[in-house]
């Protein structure tokens, strides 16, 4: 999947801004906070939106106005898109018939897909009675049912319980092993990391970074890192940190000190020493707000 100088405007609002990116085979995670342009990118990649500028190519062919490519693509949208009075089996069967399957073949394919997503037991229940996780899985089944080469999954893990998430992530990894190319979006870095190391970071309609997640993290580590320390004696800790060159700034919060450091590895080592020495009392909590994706974006946007 390739986007070449792709922009998309919605009237005065820009959804995607001059994006040039190449999505390689395998699993690629599309990461970005809400409103970053992930869904716009997904809709452009699936040919549901026409780019205002530039071209989107999937499997070597332009996707816009090329519905025969849809035989080779499976799309799982973020929103619920089904008739709640239909059963899962009826819904998946009806949709796969749009791919040119006969009634009998469609039924067999739907059974296979529902079995794959572990939903065969509930296949004859109405979708209206499905839990959020089951709805996500039935959407995955319709994306998979016609055996596409490319799977585009928009926030497929939203609303799933932890076991469901784990199963779905394993399923996605299995599909990739079978040779499918998968683009999966999420706003949770951790989820994507469990599926792939190849990511695309998007924010404000622009691609911020692409490639191996470790390389991107290394890049992030050159930026100031924030550490929140809840301690018995935060002022004593702050006095110790003041002597260190890597500490850029500090501020106090009730019962805690928040430190900004340029060398997180050295800082954590020193903090461990201080706690071991016990000279500044006990430390009850050490967290880094930087571990969330929003902070990663903040750093990348600042750079």
Q: Which residues bind other proteins (CB under 8 A)?
A: 10-13, 43, 46-49, 67-68, 70-71, 73, 75, 77, 79-84, 94-95, 97-102, 105, 109, 112, 115-116, 142, 144, 146-147, 174-175, 178
* Beta carbon of residue 164, minimum distance to other proteins (angstroms, whole number): 19
Alpha-carbon distances, residue 266 vs 210, 244, 245 (angstroms): 28, 10, 11
Closest CA to 1 of 47, 51, 59, 43: 59
Structure tokens at 225: 């890192």
* Beta carbon of residue 80, minimum distance to other proteins (angstroms, whole number): 7
Choose between 102 and 243: whose C-beta lies nearer to other proteins.
Answer: 102
* Beta carbon of residue 88, minimum distance to other proteins (angstroms, whole number): 14
Phi, psi of 51 (to 5 degrees): -65, 140
Choose between 47 and 234: whose C-beta lies nearer to other proteins.
Answer: 47
Other CB atoms within a 10 A radius of the CB of residue 17 amount to 15
Choose between 126 and 298: whose C-beta lies nearer to other proteins.
Answer: 126
Choose between 49 and 192: whose C-beta lies nearer to other proteins.
Answer: 49
* Beta carbon of residue 183, minimum distance to other proteins (angstroms, whole number): 13
Choose between 70 and 297: whose C-beta lies nearer to other proteins.
Answer: 70
Choose between 25 and 262: whose C-beta lies nearer to other proteins.
Answer: 25
3-state helix, strand, coil in the chain (%, to 5): 40, 30, 30
With beta carbons less than 8 A apart as the criterion, state whether 191 and 198 touch: no
* Beta carbon of residue 132, minimum distance to other proteins (angstroms, whole number): 15
Q: Which residues contact 267 (CB under 8 A, 6 or more apart)?
A: 225, 227, 244, 246, 247, 259, 261
Q: How far is Cα 69 from Cα 58, in angstroms, rounded to an integer?
A: 8
* Beta carbon of residue 145, minimum distance to other proteins (angstroms, whole number): 9
């Amino acid at each position: 999947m390739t986007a070449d100088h792709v922009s998309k405007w919605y009237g005065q609002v820009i959804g995607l801004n001059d994006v040039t990116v190449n999505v390689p085979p395998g699993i690629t995670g599309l990461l970005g906070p809400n409103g970053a342009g992930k869904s716009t990118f997904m809709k452009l990649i699936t040919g549901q939106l026409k780019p205002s500028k530039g071209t989107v190519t999937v499997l070597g062919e332009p996707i816009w106005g090329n519905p025969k490519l849809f035989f080779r693509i499976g799309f799982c949208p973020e929103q619920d898109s089904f008739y709640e009075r239909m059963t899962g089996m009826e819904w998946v069967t009806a949709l796969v018939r749009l791919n040119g399957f006969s009634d009998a073949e469609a039924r067999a394919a739907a059974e296979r897909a529902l079995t794959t997503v572990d939903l065969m037991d509930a296949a004859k229940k109405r979708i209206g009675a499905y839990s959020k996780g089951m709805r996500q899985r039935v959407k995955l089944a319709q994306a998979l049912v016609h055996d596409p080469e490319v799977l585009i999954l928009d926030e497929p893990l939203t609303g799933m319980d932890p076991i469901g998430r784990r199963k779905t992530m394993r399923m996605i990894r299995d599909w990739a092993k079978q040779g499918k190319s998968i683009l999966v979006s999420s706003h949770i870095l951790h989820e994507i990391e469990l599926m792939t190391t190849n990511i695309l970071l998007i924010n404000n309609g622009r691609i911020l970074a692409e490639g191996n997640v470790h390389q991107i993290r290394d890049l992030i580590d050159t930026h100031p890192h924030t550490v929140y320390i809840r301690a018995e004696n935060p002022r004593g800790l702050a006095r110790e940190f003041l002597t260190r060159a890597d500490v850029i700034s500090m501020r106090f919060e009730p019962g805690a000190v928040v430190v900004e450091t340029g060398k997180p590895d050295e800082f954590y080592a020193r903090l461990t020493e201080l706690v071991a020495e016990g000279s500044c009392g006990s430390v009850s909590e050490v967290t880094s707000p930087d571990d969330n994706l929003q902070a990663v974006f903040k750093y990348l946007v600042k750079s």
